[in-house]
Amino acid sequence: MKYNMKKILFHLQPSLCWMILGGTVFFLAKTLKDNWQQVIEIRMSEVGVFYLAIAFIVTIMAHLWSGGVWISHHKK
C-alpha cells in the first residue's frame, strides 16, 4: 500500500506543483482585483522604500540559498 501511494504521488507531483502555482496566482490576482483602490492609495516615504528594498533583497537571497541547499542535497 505504501509503495502504491508513493507511485501515485510521483505521477501527480508535476500536476500538483502547477495546481499550487495556479491557485497562488489566482489568489493574488483576485485579491488585487478586489482591493486595487486601497493598493493605489499606499504612499511610502523614502525610508519606507529603502526598507522595502532591503527586505526584498534579503528574501531573494534566502530563496536562492534554500534553493542551492535543496539542489546540493538532491544531487547526492
* 7 vs 63, more confident: 63
Q: Which helix H or strand E contains 44, and what residues bound it?
A: none
Q: What share of the chain is helix, strand, coil (3-state, %, to 5)?
A: 90, 0, 10
pLDDT single digits (tens) 7-46: 877 788 888 888 999 999 999 999 999 999 998 999 999 9
Question: Comparing 38-42, 50-54, 72-76, which segment has the lowest mean pLDDT?
Answer: 72-76
Q: How would residue 74 be classed by pLDDT, with cut points 50, 70 and 90?
A: confident
pTM of the model: 0.56
